[in-house]
A and B are shown apart, each in its own frame.
Chain A
Amino acid sequence: MVRLKHRYLLVNILYPGPVATPRGKDQQTLPDTIQFHKPTSDSLTPQMLMRLIRDGVAELFGDYGVGVVAGSLQVKYFSAATSTAIVRVSRAHYRLVWAALTFATRLPHPLDEACVMQVVRVSGTIRKSEEEAVRRARMGIRKAQSAGTWMWDESTIGQGHGNVGSEGGSVGGAEAGARPGIEDIEDDRSESGDSGD
């Protein structure tokens, strides 16, 4: 029997823009990494995510793209609280889905929020992508905690401007705690590039 070969894309939804609902000074003191990886609204369902991908593929690759992808496309896991998803697609065409995700700039209609869909891992088994998700969640916790304490220190000293530059801005002045987002993207590239084929 021939086994159906799949690829599992681990996707993070990032929010690069300034926080939509400023609620006073608390919000300003939140570390970048949290704002960057902020939770997605509950109203984004896996079905909507599917539609987003399908529309993106249709836009970029036309009916052909939708046709080859539709049979195997599935959202295996979507956690709104952590903005993480695992998307399954057939091995032959996972690049189409990846491209669609990369070119998505906004969440679908009722939400309409600016976002970046970042594919952080492509793997052949769901197990490996789950393990990677666990690893990333651990890293996220560590970064949030260290950034939180750093922020706390900053604010106690009285130098209130923790937000040095906007997210995804200048690459030059990368500090470990301050710009986790950039660092993420860099090492993601190499990893997903390795596992891509």
Chain B
Amino acid sequence: MAPGRPAQSPHDGGGGNTNRKRKDAPTNPQHNGPNKRPRQHIDQRQKMRIARTLSTQTTSTAFQNGALDVSSFVKSRAYEIQALENGLQRSKKALNERAFQQVPKELRRRTASHNVKRVPKRLRVRAGREMAVDNTPTVTARRRKPSGHMRLRLETVKKLRALGAKRKAEKDKPKDATTTELLPKDVQPGTVTTAIRTRIPKVKKSLLATPPVPKAKFRKRQIHKSWLPTHLYHAKRARMTAPSAPIWRYAVPLTPTAKSYRPTHRASHDRGAVAWDMSYMSTIQLEGRESSVLGMLKAIGVAEEDLSGRKSNKWRAGVRVLDAFLYERESPHELIAPVTMVWCVYDGTATVMEKRKRKMFLRVHPSAFYQLWEEMLRLAKVAKPAVSVEDLRFEIGSIEITGPGATEALLGALWPSSMASTSNDASDAAITGMDVDATSDHPRSESVGETWQKLAGLTNPALLPQNALLGFNVQDPRLHHPPRTIALLKSDAEQHKLLEISASWPVDAAQKACDIFDRKARHSASTSLPSQKAVNRRKGLAAPGEYPQALPKDPRVPVLLYSSSNATPTNSSKSRQSTAHNGSWTLLAPWKCLQPIWYSLMYYPLSTGQQPRFGGLDQKRQLAFEAGKPWFPGDFPGTKAGWNWECEDRRRRESEWRKRPRGKRVSYEKVELGGGKKGEVGVGWACDWERLLNVPPVIEEAALAGIEDIMDVDGPAEKAGDGTTPAEKAVEDNTKPAEQEKAKENILPLQATPKPPQLSQLSARQALALLASPEAKLPPHINLTSALVTVRLTLLTRGVPHPCARIYRLPTNDPDLRRQWLALLPSNLPHKKQKGSKHALPRLPKDASAHVVQQRLAQSLLEPPRAGEDKYPACPAEEDLVGFITTGNYDLGEGQGTGIGSLLVDRVRDGGAESNVYIVRNAGTGLGRLARWEVA
């Protein structure tokens, strides 16, 4: 029996008009003709009512002649099921039913979502229908009537064009006149041709590079900053720095517009890849005798074993990179920044090592660039024989990419130029005066490019030798755009081959001088990139489904690729070691060639699905945090760059705090610190290093004896540090914080507060040495009382540390409080091996018997006090304050709160058995949490 006639049709009256969003304009009945009916208006309520109405079957249709039998009984119920399920679906859909609302989350957009052409193809027809119903025609940009700002711009363009035409006409006219006049006089044609040749501009060294002149269209927007090569890509998809507030004089993407905290974590750890345009990293080139370059490096604090030890042979040969901390040459030898150094492979003939003339790249964060640059210039002047220093900031761009799919995506984008064309190019090179040595003799072993292509299937660059490096030339990536998924390893044999390569690493032998060190090669690669039109033509000529053939005249883009593993060099905790460290690739390429490479990377279809994600500054910090590594400059407050960053952060936090009404912001002066103390230590929105350094520990009668010796230590050291007498010091101490407070109150400081002169930062290596043996030899200049060491903290109980959280050591002068805190240590708790929630007793079943409940009661009485209870120990006093958290959050990798902060190394050294258990308290709260730290 067929399902009967529905008693109420769900669609009556609705028709195609049910999904209308926009209302019709109010229609005037007088203007409407007699036969023009106003369109039926259906509002949302009615729509919902229609959607929710269920169709039913009457008995007479379900049971013919009223006969009751099994089959019609079953059928009537089947009809009911159908009707109810339809109704469920319909009423769900009635809530969201527009085509663009059904787009997957990461493809959703806010701007122009009404534009039919911007929804995925499968939804386009439906979206078009909806738009037609809504009376919202889709317009093309071409035919749109320019509005507002655009109209102004177009008018300006028109005026400029008129002016240009006029000028051109003027320019052309007298030229014609003069030539006609001059021609009879100027008889020798030969002189004319020679006059055209212009002098090749001499490369100016030791000068700061100027940013490339942008296209006129974009020039006004780059007056006080420069755009990264991929700015247009990012500006569409990411939150950029505000136009008025560039970071490090670049417009830097901060974070993708789409939600990305968890996706970034997943892409970098489990599946996928995350890439950054890191072109803002500055490159400095040193060129000169190897011995004098090494001497310079030694002067700015590269360790001796890195410079001349056997371990660094490969680095000096130019097949590894070196990460090191650089310091200022003059006392107090401040830490400048962590720097990556790359030697160019020496291809010359000089056998004496010291006499070789070589090149080296230093890559440094832009926030510390100027400091390093000044230092380098000063050193280069005194170096003998001379070393030339060159600023390659806008000549070399870089991309960083991490995650299991990183190598794959890079392989899809970087196609090595064929060796066959090398010989052709060698002749070209000879004409342009390039160093021919690199290509004159072909190696019997495979070239670097070939090795590179054999890395397909590598999911973690950390498998390769540490800091391995590959320098080769690649083809224009646009020829292979859109990229296709590369063939991955299928058999065990291939897998073995990959392992073999990573073990033997043939690049060490095959690496020649990389072209990226050569100015001419960089320049020719940038200028000889064909136009997109030419590339398209070539692609059109290629056989369908095939990429165009490589031609010998194709530009060869020099790239340098190096891997860096995230493994911390320090003694990291066991949990950290067990988790797989994901290495990352850094790609250096000429500034102007970076954009096509970026597009190829971003559109590469990964074998695991989806495409590589892009990240902003926030993602960079997030992943550094998850790897437990400090991020420069934010986590190095002892450096100049780090201090500036901290000041910037302070200002931001303060303005955010001030923006809120009084009742809705943390009132720092009322924070209960326990022990009857009230008020936040220092400024609540800052990592208040000044307070930590300047204010002597509060002296109480009971605690006097304990502090005496600390004071003794402090005194002479401070004197040595900045040459003020203790009396002066004390005066300063009293006035300084007050003044600073006042300054903050009155003017929002446009200028960053100057860094306290004593504040300095120890590198991890120094800190480890110092902590391992208290009498370790440190460079004499380091002022121990105010040296900071960057650490990583893991909370032992619950809680999540936030930036600016205060770090305390266990109370030194209050043994009772100290005992209370130690009792909270999870290792001291009786029930350790429990599952479920970390620090609560497991839940009892509902029907637990009375004695079990009683037992539980007793157990819970023995429990250590929970946070928030009266018995929970109070925070230690200010004399035990040792540092601040600079980055803290819930760590998705660890599954608990962790943080990265800095400690005053002097207050850290004298620890007992529980020397690495500290207390972390978030700013604005009175609750301390136990944490364990290790040098990061």
Segment at the interface with A among B53-61, B161-169, B508-516? B53-61
Q: Which of B60-84 contact A (CB under 8 A)?
A: 60-63, 66-70, 73-74, 76-81, 83-84
Question: Are A127 and B88 interface neighbours, CB within 8 A?
Answer: yes
Given A35-B68, A133-B80, A137-B81, A81-B57 contact (CB < 8 Å)? yes
Question: Are B88 and A81 interface neighbours, CB within 8 A?
Answer: no
Question: Which residues from chain A contact B79 at a C-beta distance below 8 Å?
Answer: 81
Segment at the interface with B among A26-34, A161-169, A172-180, A186-194? A26-34
Given A79-B56, A81-B76, A82-B76, A130-B84 contact (CB < 8 Å)? yes
Whether, in the assembled complex, A140 has its beta carbon less than 8 Å from a beta carbon of chain B, the answer is: yes
Whether, in the assembled complex, B506 has its beta carbon less than 8 Å from a beta carbon of chain A, the answer is: no
Question: Are B68 and A31 interface neighbours, CB within 8 A?
Answer: no
Whether, in the assembled complex, B697 has its beta carbon less than 8 Å from a beta carbon of chain A, the answer is: no
Given A77-B54, A82-B77, A140-B77, A133-B59 contact (CB < 8 Å)? no
Question: Are A82 and B80 interface neighbours, CB within 8 A?
Answer: yes
Docked pose: A134 CA to B81 CA in angstroms: 5
Most chain B CB within a 10 A radius of its CB, from A79, A80, A147: A79
Whether, in the assembled complex, B596 has its beta carbon less than 8 Å from a beta carbon of chain A, the answer is: no
Question: Which residues from chain A contact B77 at a C-beta distance below 8 Å?
Answer: 82, 137-138, 140-141, 144
Question: Which residues from chain B contact A84 at a C-beta distance below 8 Å?
Answer: 80
Whether, in the assembled complex, A91 has its beta carbon less than 8 Å from a beta carbon of chain B, the answer is: no
Question: Which residues from chain B contact A34 at a C-beta distance below 8 Å?
Answer: 68-70, 73
Given A34-B68, A145-B70, A134-B84 contact (CB < 8 Å)? yes
Docked pose: A40 CA to B4 CA in angstroms: 16
Q: Which of A10-46 contact B (CB under 8 A)?
A: 19, 21, 23, 26-27, 30-31, 34-35, 37-42
Docked pose: A47 CA to B59 CA in angstroms: 17
Whether, in the assembled complex, A98 has its beta carbon less than 8 Å from a beta carbon of chain B, the answer is: no
Q: Which of B291-318 contact A (CB under 8 A)?
A: none
Interface string of A105-117 (1 = CB under 8 A from B): 0000000000000
Question: Which residues from chain B contact A80 at a C-beta distance below 8 Å?
Answer: 56-59
Whether, in the assembled complex, A65 has its beta carbon less than 8 Å from a beta carbon of chain B, the answer is: no
Whether, in the assembled complex, A78 has its beta carbon less than 8 Å from a beta carbon of chain B, the answer is: yes
Distance to closest chain B CB from A27 (angstroms): 7
Whether, in the assembled complex, B715 has its beta carbon less than 8 Å from a beta carbon of chain A, the answer is: no
Docked pose: A79 CA to B78 CA in angstroms: 12
Question: Which residues from chain A contact B500 at a C-beta distance below 8 Å?
Answer: none
Question: Are A39 and B68 interface neighbours, CB within 8 A?
Answer: yes
Chain B, residue nearest A136 (CB): B77
Chain A, residue nearest B92 (CB): A127
Docked pose: A130 CA to B61 CA in angstroms: 22
Size of chain B's interface in residues, with CB distance under 8 A?
30
Whether, in the assembled complex, A197 has its beta carbon less than 8 Å from a beta carbon of chain B, the answer is: no
Whether, in the assembled complex, A148 has its beta carbon less than 8 Å from a beta carbon of chain B, the answer is: yes
Question: Which of B57, B69, B70, B87 has a CB less than 8 Å from the CB of A130?
Answer: B87
Question: Are B88 and A148 interface neighbours, CB within 8 A?
Answer: no
Docked pose: A41 CA to B74 CA in angstroms: 17
Docked pose: A35 CA to B67 CA in angstroms: 12
Distance to closest chain B CB from A37 (angstroms): 8
Distance to closest chain A CB from B60 (angstroms): 5
Q: Which of A29-75 contact B (CB under 8 A)?
A: 30-31, 34-35, 37-42
Docked pose: A137 CA to B60 CA in angstroms: 19
Docked pose: A77 CA to B54 CA in angstroms: 7
Chain A, residue nearest B85 (CB): A134
Question: Are B76 and A148 interface neighbours, CB within 8 A?
Answer: no
Chain B, residue nearest A126 (CB): B52
Given A31-B70, A77-B54, A130-B87, A39-B81 contact (CB < 8 Å)? no
Measured as residues with beta carbon below 8 angstroms from the partner, the interface class of chain A is 35 or more
Interface string of A128-157 (1 = CB under 8 A from B): 001101100110110011011000000000
Distance to closest chain B CB from A74 (angstroms): 12
Question: Are B85 and A81 interface neighbours, CB within 8 A?
Answer: no
Distance to closest chain B CB from A144 (angstroms): 5
Question: Are A81 and B68 interface neighbours, CB within 8 A?
Answer: no
Docked pose: A68 CA to B73 CA in angstroms: 38
Distance to closest chain B CB from A110 (angstroms): 15
Docked pose: A148 CA to B74 CA in angstroms: 11
Most chain A CB within a 10 A radius of its CB, from B73, B81, B87: B73
Question: Are A144 and B73 interface neighbours, CB within 8 A?
Answer: yes
Docked pose: A23 CA to B52 CA in angstroms: 39
Question: Are A79 and B74 interface neighbours, CB within 8 A?
Answer: no
Question: Are A144 and B70 interface neighbours, CB within 8 A?
Answer: yes
Docked pose: A96 CA to B742 CA in angstroms: 70
Question: Which residues from chain B contact A130 at a C-beta distance below 8 Å?
Answer: 54, 84, 87-88
Q: Which of B76-116 contact A (CB under 8 A)?
A: 76-81, 83-85, 87-88, 91
Question: Which residues from chain B contact A140 at a C-beta distance below 8 Å?
Answer: 73, 77
Question: Which residues from chain B contact A126 at a C-beta distance below 8 Å?
Answer: 52
Most chain A CB within a 10 A radius of its CB, from B61, B78, B81, B87: B81
Docked pose: A23 CA to B61 CA in angstroms: 19
Question: Are B80 and A137 interface neighbours, CB within 8 A?
Answer: yes
Docked pose: A130 CA to B79 CA in angstroms: 14
Question: Which residues from chain B contact A81 at a C-beta distance below 8 Å?
Answer: 4, 56-59, 61-63, 76, 79-80
Question: Which residues from chain B contact A35 at a C-beta distance below 8 Å?
Answer: 68
Question: Which residues from chain A contact B60 at a C-beta distance below 8 Å?
Answer: 42
Distance to closest chain A CB from B777 (angstroms): 73
Q: Which of B385-434 contact A (CB under 8 A)?
A: none
Question: Are A133 and B74 interface neighbours, CB within 8 A?
Answer: no
Question: Which residues from chain A contact B74 at a C-beta distance below 8 Å?
Answer: 141, 144-145
Given A34-B70, A79-B57, A144-B70, A131-B88 contact (CB < 8 Å)? yes
Question: Are A42 and B59 interface neighbours, CB within 8 A?
Answer: yes
Question: Are B63 and A39 interface neighbours, CB within 8 A?
Answer: yes
Question: Are B58 and A42 interface neighbours, CB within 8 A?
Answer: yes
Question: Are A38 and B57 interface neighbours, CB within 8 A?
Answer: no
Distance to closest chain B CB from A130 (angstroms): 5
Chain A, residue nearest B91 (CB): A127
Docked pose: A138 CA to B85 CA in angstroms: 12
Docked pose: A143 CA to B680 CA in angstroms: 71
Question: Which residues from chain A contact B87 at a C-beta distance below 8 Å?
Answer: 130
Question: Which of A23, A41, A134, A138 has a CB less than 8 Å from the CB of B59?
Answer: A41
Docked pose: A156 CA to B295 CA in angstroms: 107
Docked pose: A19 CA to B60 CA in angstroms: 17
Question: Which residues from chain A contact B63 at a C-beta distance below 8 Å?
Answer: 39, 81
Distance to closest chain A CB from B316 (angstroms): 72
Docked pose: A133 CA to B88 CA in angstroms: 12
Question: Which residues from chain A contact B57 at a C-beta distance below 8 Å?
Answer: 79-82
Question: Which residues from chain B contact A23 at a C-beta distance below 8 Å?
Answer: 67
Given A30-B69, A144-B74, A78-B84 contact (CB < 8 Å)? no
Docked pose: A141 CA to B158 CA in angstroms: 77
Chain A, residue nearest B74 (CB): A141
Docked pose: A82 CA to B84 CA in angstroms: 13
Question: Which of B52, B66, B78 has a CB less than 8 Å from the CB of A141?
Answer: B78
Distance to closest chain B CB from A23 (angstroms): 8
Docked pose: A27 CA to B69 CA in angstroms: 8
Question: Which residues from chain A contact B58 at a C-beta distance below 8 Å?
Answer: 42, 80-81
Chain B, residue nearest A78 (CB): B56
Docked pose: A31 CA to B80 CA in angstroms: 21
Question: Which residues from chain A contact B73 at a C-beta distance below 8 Å?
Answer: 34, 37, 39, 140, 144
What 9 additional pairs, Cβ within 8 angstroms, besides A30-B70, A81-B62, A147-B70? A19-B68, A34-B70, A77-B54, A79-B80, A82-B76, A82-B80, A130-B54, A133-B80, A140-B73
Complex A-B: 22 CB contacts under 8 Å:
A23-B67, A26-B69, A34-B68, A34-B73, A35-B68, A39-B68, A78-B56, A81-B4, A81-B56, A81-B79, A81-B80, A82-B57, A127-B88, A130-B84, A134-B81, A137-B77, A138-B77, A141-B74, A141-B78, A145-B70, A147-B70, A148-B70
Which B positions have Cβ atoms within 8 angstroms of A? 4, 52, 54, 56-63, 66-70, 73-74, 76-81, 83-85, 87-88, 91
Which A positions have Cβ atoms within 8 angstroms of B? 19, 21, 23, 26-27, 30-31, 34-35, 37-42, 77-82, 84, 126-127, 130-131, 133-134, 137-138, 140-141, 144-145, 147-148
Q: Which 4 pairs between the two chains have the least Cβ-Cβ distance?
A: A81-B62, A148-B70, A81-B76, A79-B56
